[in-house]
C-alpha cells in the first residue's frame, strides 16, 4: 500500500467534468475538442454536432458495461452524451435483471435507486482506472427549492446528487446577452456549478481556430486541483514549523513572545485555531496558564 504523506504532492491524472446547458448551445461540439475523445451517444444526437469526432451510437447499457482497455486504447477522453439518457438505459438494464427494482412507471424503487447509483459509480471509476477523463453532458432544467428557482443538470432525481459528487468540475454552457457562448464553472445566483480550479467564465471560441480548446480547459482544471494540493502541503509545512517553535517555549515569556508574532496569529482562521491548539498543548505541559485580564501567559 503506497501512502502519500500529507506533505507530498497528489498528482491529478484524470478527472470527471460535467457540462450542462440548453439544447443547441454546443455541448457535444465542445466536448469533442477534449483530448482524443470518444463519444458514447446515448441520445442519438451526435449527428447534430458541428464538430463531431469518433462516436458510438448506444442502444442499451450492455453495450458499454464491459468497456475495457482494448476498447479505449486509442482514446484519452470518454464522453457520455447525455448522462441523463445513459441512466435511463441503466434503469432498463436493472429492471430486466430484477423487476422488483423498477416500478411499472419505469421509475426505480428505493432499492432500485441504490442499485442505480452504485452500478453507475463503479462504471465511472472503472473508466478512471483505465486512465481516461470522463465528460458528462447533460441538458439543463429548472428546479425549485422552496421559493428559490435553480437551473441544474437534467438528471434522474435520485442519482443527481451522487453524480454531482462524482464530478470534479461542473460548468454551465449558455448564450450570453452579446450572443457569445460562455462556459461558467462557478455557481452563480440560480445556476449550480463546481469550480475547484477557480476558472473565470470562458468564452467559447471557434473550434475551427481552436480544435483542442476543451483539452486545454481540462488541463487547467487538473492544474488548478494540483494547486489546491500544493496549498495543503504548504499548510502542513507551516504547522510543522510552528510546532517546532512551540518546542522552544520554556517560560511564560517565551509563550507570550510566540503569541505576539503576527504571522502566526493573523489571517486564516482555521490555521490560527490549529496553532493555538499546538501552543496550548505546550504550555499545559509546562504548567503555564493564560490570564484573560492580562491577556498574557503567566
The per-residue pLDDT for range 227-268, each reduced to its tens digit, is 877 777 788 888 888 888 898 899 999 999 988 888 888 888
Q: pLDDT tens for residues 46-73?
A: 888 888 899 999 999 999 998 999 999 9
The pLDDT confidence band at residue 173, using thresholds 50, 70 and 90, is: very high
User: Could you list the residue range(s) of the whole structural domain that residue 147 is in?
Assistant: 16-226
* Residue with the three cell numbers 500544493: 230
Check whether residue 74 and residue 212 sit in a common domain: yes
In the chain, the number of structural domains is 2
Q: Which of 172, 169, 196 is nearest to 184 (CA)?
A: 172
Check whether residue 141 and residue 256 sit in a common domain: no
pLDDT of residue 288: 93
In a domain, 232, yes or no: no
pLDDT of residue 252: 92
pLDDT exceeds cutoff 70 at 87: yes
Check whether residue 99 and residue 220 sit in a common domain: yes
In a domain, 99, yes or no: yes
Check whether residue 252 and residue 218 sit in a common domain: no
Please give the grid coordinates belonging to residue 132. Answer: 481516461
pLDDT of residue 160: 80
The CA distance from 263 to 177, in Å, is 46
pLDDT of residue 185: 94
Check whether residue 83 and residue 155 sit in a common domain: yes
Please give the grid coordinates belonging to residue 7. Answer: 506533505
pLDDT of residue 280: 92
In a domain, 74, yes or no: yes
Q: Which of 77, 56, 48 is nearest to 135 (CA)?
A: 77
Check whether residue 93 and residue 205 sit in a common domain: yes
Check whether residue 129 and residue 71 sit in a common domain: yes
In a domain, 235, yes or no: no
pLDDT exceeds cutoff 70 at 6: no
pLDDT averaged over the chain? 89
68-82, 136-150, 234-248: which range is least confident on average? 136-150
In a domain, 77, yes or no: yes
In a domain, 5, yes or no: no
| 23-42 mean pLDDT | 95
pLDDT of residue 199: 92
Q: Are 56 and 38 in contact (CB under 8 A)?
A: yes
Check whether residue 214 and residue 252 sit in a common domain: no
In a domain, 238, yes or no: no
Check whether residue 138 and residue 262 sit in a common domain: no
Top-ranked range on mean pLDDT: pick from 82-86, 150-154, 241-245: 82-86
* Residue with the three cell numbers 448564450: 175
User: Which of these three, 196, 226, 256, is where a domain ends?
Assistant: 226
User: Which of these three, 193, 226, 259, is where a domain ends?
Assistant: 226
In a domain, 233, yes or no: no
pLDDT of residue 131: 92
Check whether residue 217 and residue 252 sit in a common domain: no
Check whether residue 75 and residue 146 sit in a common domain: yes
Alpha helices in 9-109 (DSSP H): 27-31, 62-65, 83-97
Check whether residue 156 and residue 218 sit in a common domain: yes
pLDDT of residue 145: 67
| 131-138 mean pLDDT | 95
**What's the CATH code of the domain at 110?**
3.40.50.300
Buried b (16+ CB within 10 A) or exposed e, 114-147: ebbbebbeebbeebbeeebbbbbbbbbeebeeee
Return the SS3 of 295: coil
Amino acid at each position: 500500500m503506497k501512502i502519500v504523506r500529507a506533505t507530498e504532492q497528489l498528482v491529478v491524472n484524470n478527472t470527471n467534468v460535467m457540462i450542462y446547458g440548453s439544447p443547441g448551445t454546443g455541448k457535444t461540439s465542445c466536448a469533442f475538442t477534449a483530448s482524443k475523445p470518444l463519444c458514447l451517444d446515448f441520445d442519438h444526437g451526435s449527428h447534430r454536432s458541428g464538430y463531431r469526432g469518433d462516436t458510438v451510437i448506444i442502444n442499451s447499457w450492455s453495450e458499454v458495461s464491459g468497456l475495457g482497455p482494448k476498447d479505449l486504447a486509442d482514446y484519452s477522453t470518454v464522453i457520455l452524451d447525455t448522462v441523463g439518457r445513459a441512466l435511463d438505459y441503466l434503469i432498463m438494464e436493472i429492471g430486466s435483471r430484477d423487476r422488483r427494482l423498477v416500478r411499472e412507471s419505469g421509475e426505480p424503487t428505493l432499492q432500485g435507486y441504490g442499485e442505480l447509483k452504485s452500478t453507475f459509480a463503479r462504471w465511472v471509476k472503472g473508466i478512471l482506472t483505465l486512465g481516461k477523463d470522463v465528460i458528462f453532458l447533460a441538458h439543463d432544467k429548472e428546479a425549485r427549492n422552496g421559493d428559490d428557482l435553480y437551473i441544474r443538470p437534467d438528471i434522474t432525481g435520485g442519482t443527481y446528487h451522487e453524480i454531482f459528487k462524482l464530478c470534479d468540475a461542473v460548468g454551465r454552457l449558455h448564450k450570453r446577452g452579446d450572443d457569445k457562448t460562455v462556459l461558467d464553472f462557478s455557481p452563480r445566483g440560480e445556476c449550480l456549478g463546481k469550480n475547484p480550479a477557480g476558472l473565470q467564465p470562458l468564452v467559447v471560441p471557434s473550434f475551427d481556430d481552436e480544435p483542442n480548446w476543451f483539452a486545454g480547459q481540462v488541463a487547467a482544471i487538473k492544474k488548478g486541483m494540483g494547486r489546491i494540493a500544493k496549498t495543503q502541503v504548504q499548510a502542513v509545512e507551516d504547522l510543522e514549523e510552528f510546532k517546532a517553535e512551540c518546542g522552544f517555549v520554556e517560560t511564560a515569556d517565551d509563550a507570550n513572545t510566540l503569541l505576539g508574532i503576527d504571522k502566526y496569529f493573523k489571517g486564516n482562521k482555521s490555521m490560527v485555531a490549529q496553532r493555538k491548539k499546538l501552543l496550548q498543548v505546550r504550555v499545559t505541559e509546562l504548567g503555564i496558564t493564560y490570564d484573560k485580564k492580562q491577556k498574557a501567559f503567566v
